[in-house]
Amino acid sequence: MLYFINVILPIPVENTFTYRVSETEYAFIQLGMRVAVPFGKSKVYASIVKAKHTEAPTIYEAKEIHQILDEHPIVTQKQLKFWSWISSYYMCTEGEVMRAALPKAFMLESETVIKLKSDGFVIDELELKDDEYLIYEALQSKSELKVQEVMEILDTKKILPSIQYLIDQGAVEMQEEIYEKYIPKLVKFITLSSDYEGEHTFNKLLEDLSRAPKQREMVLSFFSLKAKTNKPISSKELQKVSGATTVQLNALIKKGVFQIYEKQQDRVGYEGEVYITKTLNNHQELAYNEIKTQFEVKDVVLLHGVTASGKTEIYVQIIEELLAQKKGQILYLLPEIALTTQLISRLQIYFGEKVAIFHSKYSVNERVEVWNNVLKKYDKAQVIIGARSALLLPFQDLQFIVVDEEHESSFKQYDPAPRYQARDSAIVLAAMFKAKVLLGSATPSLESIYNVQTNKYGCVQLKHRHGNILLPDINLVDIKEKMKKREMTGHFSDTLLRAITDALELGEQVILFQNRRGFSPILECTTCGHAPQCPNCDVSLTYHKYRAQLRCHYCGYNIALQKKCLACGSSELTTKGFGTEQIEAELKELYPDRVISRMDSDTTRGKYGFEKLITAFEQEQIDILVGTQMLTKGLDFRNVSLVGIMNADSMLNFPDFRAHERSYQLIAQVSGRAGRTEKQGKVLVQTYNPYHQILQQVSANKFDEMIKEQLEERHTFKYPPFYRLIRVSLKHRDYQKIEEASIWLAKALKQTLGSEAVLGPETPSIARIRNQYRRNVMIKINRTQNLSQTKKAVKRVVTSFNAISQYRSVRLIIDVDCY
User: Which 3 state secondary structure label does DSSP give 459?
Assistant: strand
If you count them, how many residues does the chain have? 819
Burial letters 97-127, b for 16+ CB under 10 A, else e:
bbbbbbbbbbbbbbebebebbeeeeebeeee
Nearest approach, Cβ of residue 654 and Zn ion (Å): 19
1/274 with CB nearer ligand ADP: 274
Angle separating helix axes 609-618 and 341-351, nearest 10 degrees = 80
C-alpha span between 742 and 778 (Å, rounded): 11
User: Which 3 state secondary structure label does DSSP give 219?
Assistant: helix
Cα distances (Å, whole numbers) of residue 102 to 47, 372, 385, 819 = 11, 11, 17, 25
6/312 with CB nearer ligand ADP: 312
Given ligand ADP, Zn ion, none, residue 340, with its beta carbon under 5 to 8 Å by kind, binds: none
Nearest approach, Cβ of residue 715 and ligand ADP (Å): 30
CB atoms < 10 A from the CB of 191, how many? Answer: 13
- 173-177: list long-range contacts, CB under 8 Å, 24+ apart: 173/114, 173/115, 173/116, 173/117, 173/118, 173/364, 173/365, 174/104, 174/105, 174/108, 174/112, 174/113, 174/114, 174/115, 174/364, 175/112, 175/113, 175/114, 175/115, 175/144, 176/104, 176/363, 176/364
316/777 with CB nearer ligand ADP: 316
Of the residues 85, 295, 378, 557, which one makes contact with Zn ion according to CB under 5 A: 557
Nearest approach, Cβ of residue 629 and Zn ion (Å): 21
C-alpha span between 646 and 520 (Å, rounded): 14
Nearest approach, Cβ of residue 490 and Zn ion (Å): 25
Angle, vertex CA 450, rays to CA 814 and CA 439, nearest 5: 85
Per-residue interface string for the shown chain with Zn ion, residues 526-555, x marking contact by CB under 5 A: -xx-x---x-xx--------------x-xx
Given ligand ADP, Zn ion, none, residue 660, with its beta carbon under 5 to 8 Å by kind, binds: none
Nearest approach, Cβ of residue 183 and ligand ADP (Å): 19
Given ligand ADP, Zn ion, none, residue 441, with its beta carbon under 5 to 8 Å by kind, binds: none
Q: Contact between 702 and Zn ion (CB under 5 A)?
A: no
Nearest approach, Cβ of residue 537 and Zn ion (Å): 3
Given ligand ADP, Zn ion, none, residue 631, with its beta carbon under 5 to 8 Å by kind, binds: none
**631 Rama sector, left if φ>0, alpha if ψ -120 to 50, beta otherwise:** alpha
Given ligand ADP, Zn ion, none, residue 570, with its beta carbon under 5 to 8 Å by kind, binds: Zn ion
198/569 with CB nearer Zn ion: 569
User: Which 3 state secondary structure label does DSSP give 444?
Assistant: coil
Q: Of 606, 589, 588, which Cα lies nearest the Cα of 597?
A: 588
* C-beta separation of 687 from 649 below 8 A: yes
431/766 with CB nearer Zn ion: 766
Q: Report the C-alpha dihedral over residues 330, 336, 341, 342, rounded to 10 degrees.
A: -80
- Nearest residue to the partner ligand ADP, using Cβ: 310
108/631 with CB nearer ligand ADP: 631
Q: What is the DSSP string of 487-548?
A: -EETTEEHHHHHHHHHHHHTT-EEEEE-S--SSBSEEEETTT----B-SSSSSBPEEETTTT
User: Which 3 state secondary structure label does DSSP give 165?
Assistant: helix
Nearest approach, Cβ of residue 281 and ligand ADP (Å): 5
Given ligand ADP, Zn ion, none, residue 278, with its beta carbon under 5 to 8 Å by kind, binds: ligand ADP
Distance of CA 710 to the CA centre of its chain: 26
Nearest approach, Cβ of residue 305 and ligand ADP (Å): 5
Given Zn ion, ligand ADP, none, residue 586, with its beta carbon under 5 to 8 Å by kind, binds: none
User: Which 3 state secondary structure label does DSSP give 410?
Assistant: helix
Of the residues 191, 453, 570, 799, which one makes contact with Zn ion according to CB under 5 A: 570
C-alpha span between 40 and 56 (Å, rounded): 19
Beta bridge partners of 542: 551
Of the residues 163, 523, 525, 725, which one makes contact with Zn ion according to CB under 5 A: 525
Given ligand ADP, Zn ion, none, residue 502, with its beta carbon under 5 to 8 Å by kind, binds: none
Nearest approach, Cβ of residue 348 and ligand ADP (Å): 15
Identify the H or E element spanning 181.
none
User: What is the pairing mode between strands 723-732 and 811-816?
Assistant: antiparallel
524/600 with CB nearer Zn ion: 524
Site residues for ligand ADP per CB under 6 A: 278-281, 284, 305, 307-313, 466, 636, 676
Given ligand ADP, Zn ion, none, residue 568, with its beta carbon under 5 to 8 Å by kind, binds: Zn ion
Given Zn ion, ligand ADP, none, residue 558, with its beta carbon under 5 to 8 Å by kind, binds: none
Given ligand ADP, Zn ion, none, residue 534, with its beta carbon under 5 to 8 Å by kind, binds: Zn ion
Nearest approach, Cβ of residue 763 and Zn ion (Å): 17
Of the residues 206, 568, 700, 766, which one makes contact with Zn ion according to CB under 5 A: 568
| DSSP-derived secondary structure letter, 390 | G
Nearest approach, Cβ of residue 340 and ligand ADP (Å): 11
The region of 458-466, 517-525, 681-689, 733-741 touching Zn ion under the rule CB under 5 A is: 517-525
Q: Of 474, 543, 396, 426, which Cα lies nearest the Cα of 701?
A: 474
368/523 with CB nearer Zn ion: 523
C-alpha span between 137 and 125 (Å, rounded): 9
Q: Of 584, 521, 517, 516, which Cα lies nearest the Cα of 550?
A: 521
Nearest approach, Cβ of residue 509 and ligand ADP (Å): 15
Given ligand ADP, Zn ion, none, residue 784, with its beta carbon under 5 to 8 Å by kind, binds: none
Given ligand ADP, Zn ion, none, residue 284, with its beta carbon under 5 to 8 Å by kind, binds: ligand ADP
Nearest approach, Cβ of residue 407 and Zn ion (Å): 30
Name the site residues for Zn ion (rule: CB under 5 A): 525, 527-528, 530, 534, 536-537, 552, 554-555, 557, 565, 567-568, 570
